[in-house]
Amino acid sequence: MPSKTELPLFIGLMTGTSVDGIDAVLASIGDDHFSLLGTLSQPIPAPLRDDILALCQPGSNEIDRAGRVNLQLAGHYANTCQTLLTQAGITPDQVRAIGCHGQTIRHRPQPPGFSVQLGCPDSLAVATGIPVVSNFRNKDMALGGQGAPLVPPFHRQLFARPDQRIAVVNIGGMANVTLLDTGQLTGGFDTGPGNVLMDSWIQQHYQQAYDRNGDWAASAQPDSTLLTTLLDDPYFHQPPPKSTGRERFSRDWLNAQLANHSLPDDVIQATLAELTAHSIRDALNNFQPDHVLICGGGAHNRHLLERLQALLNTPVTSTAEHGLHPDWVEAAAFAWLAWARMEGKAGNAPVVTGASREAVLGQITLP
């Protein structure tokens, strides 16, 4: 690992559609270099998580509620950064910038598209004394793109191989794929729900945050008729570029799909796991990867990984076996995107998002 003075240091912050915590990384980054110097995950307090989830659907008094969450999130982001730096023995003046994705509460990719993330960058910059790069998605959308996914260029830097076709599958609340063909980034898009529906269903019935190891899903057989109903949603048949979120695949969406099905709760959970596995398999059918790398929270769902392995008939392994633990890939990507912004380098990939051109992404907020 290089000394801390050789390359600039960046912090990456990520809170995803699972709304299960704040992931933070400290990294040294250069044109052909990326290494982690520290990592930290902090829980989001339950009342704040409830407020965030409520804002993900239309409701009353949204602007005031969003304003409060915006400031509260910034405070938690700042505390996370300060703890991360303390643990790493690094002072704020040694960090060039924080790449803060923020918490998405709306993502509307269809033109005229927009994406809204909360987590006040001004408050974060003032509290930490470090420049903040934020609002990564809307420049790509202004150029006609989806504004998502944004992590494929980072995946290319870390995981591309000149002699292999590699698919990187991030399974967070939503799932997305990055297609790397013999070293080149050739595509990427959201495949649909990752953990979001499975998490919601087990929270509703057992008050658990997630299905640990996929044990509940593995305890029953999926229902093929329900699976067909779920996969009939037009999103799964829409060609890329495409992206999605809780706005579409919500508990209300699931309840509407279940209206004509009377099934045990465990069978529904098993079928939701199949929905994630089948939608990922279908997304990769034309690409035919030599190897599939998994990152995100879904990398810990043993049952889901087993189902993917069975459906894909190709090696399925964690990104940990290729240099970066699956829990830190997305936060690391936003550290890298902050580096790209500060260096004036393009952060998007038109072949992924559909934007009319490459662009430098993100806005800089000084302390």
φ, ψ for residue 167 (rounded to 5)?
A: -110, 125
**Does 323 reside within a domain?**
no
Check: CB of residue 123 under 8 Å from CB of residue 350: no
Claim to verify: residue 229 and residue 206 sit in the same structural domain = yes
Dihedral sign from CA coordinates of 1, 180, 362, 87: negative
Q: Which residue has the tokens 């933070």?
A: 24
Question: How crowded is residue 105: how many other Cβ atoms within 10 Å of its Cβ?
Answer: 24
DSSP string for residues in 163-219: T-EEEEEEESSEEEEEEEETTEEEEEEEEEESSHHHHHHHHHHH--SS-GGGHHHHT
Q: Is 63 left (phi over 0), alpha (psi -120 to 50) or beta?
A: alpha
Q: Is 2 left (phi over 0), alpha (psi -120 to 50) or beta?
A: beta
**Does 268 reside within a domain?**
yes
Q: How far apart are CA 237 and CA 270, in angstroms?
A: 22
Claim to verify: residue 234 and residue 283 sit in the same structural domain = yes
**Does 114 reside within a domain?**
yes
State pLDDT tens for residues 157-216. Answer: 999 999 999 999 999 999 999 999 999 999 999 999 999 999 999 999 999 999 999 999
What CATH number should be reported for the domain holding residue 117?
Answer: 3.30.420.40
**Does 344 reside within a domain?**
yes
Q: What pLDDT does residue 4 have?
A: 42
Claim to verify: residue 293 and residue 157 sit in the same structural domain = yes
Q: How far apart are CA 164 and CA 179, in angstroms?
A: 11
**Does 320 reside within a domain?**
no
Dihedral sign from CA coordinates of 271, 272, 273, 274: positive
Claim to verify: residue 173 and residue 126 sit in the same structural domain = no
Claim to verify: residue 33 and residue 13 sit in the same structural domain = yes
DSSP string for residues in 96-160: EEEEE--EEEEEE-SSS-EEEEES-HHHHHHHHTS-EEE--SHHHHHTT-------HHHHHHHH-
Claim to verify: residue 15 and residue 120 sit in the same structural domain = yes
Going by C-alpha positions, the residue among 147, 193, 200 that lies closest to residue 170 is: 193
Claim to verify: residue 279 and residue 348 sit in the same structural domain = no
Claim to verify: residue 104 and residue 181 sit in the same structural domain = no
Claim to verify: residue 204 and residue 133 sit in the same structural domain = no
Q: What pLDDT does residue 18 have?
A: 86
Number of structural domains in the chain = 2
**Does 2 reside within a domain?**
no
Close Cβ partners of 216 (under 8 Å, ≥ 6 residues apart)? 202, 206, 266, 269
Check: CB of residue 322 under 8 Å from CB of residue 3: no
**Does 297 reside within a domain?**
yes
Q: How far apart are CA 274 and CA 241, in angstroms?
A: 23
Question: How crowded is residue 74: how many other Cβ atoms within 10 Å of its Cβ?
Answer: 24
How far is C-alpha 113 from the geometric centre of its chain's CA atoms? 19
Three-state secondary structure call for residue 356: coil
Strands 95-100 and 132-134: parallel
Of 275, 292, 314, the residue at which a domain comes to its end is 314
Claim to verify: residue 206 and residue 74 sit in the same structural domain = no
**Does 1 reside within a domain?**
no
Claim to verify: residue 164 and residue 308 sit in the same structural domain = yes
Q: What pLDDT does residue 3 have?
A: 45
State pLDDT tens for residues 88-115. Answer: 999 999 999 999 999 999 999 988 899 9
Claim to verify: residue 65 and residue 107 sit in the same structural domain = yes
Low-confidence residues in the chain, pLDDT < 50: 1-5
Per the structure, the complete domain to which residue 224 belongs is given by 152-314
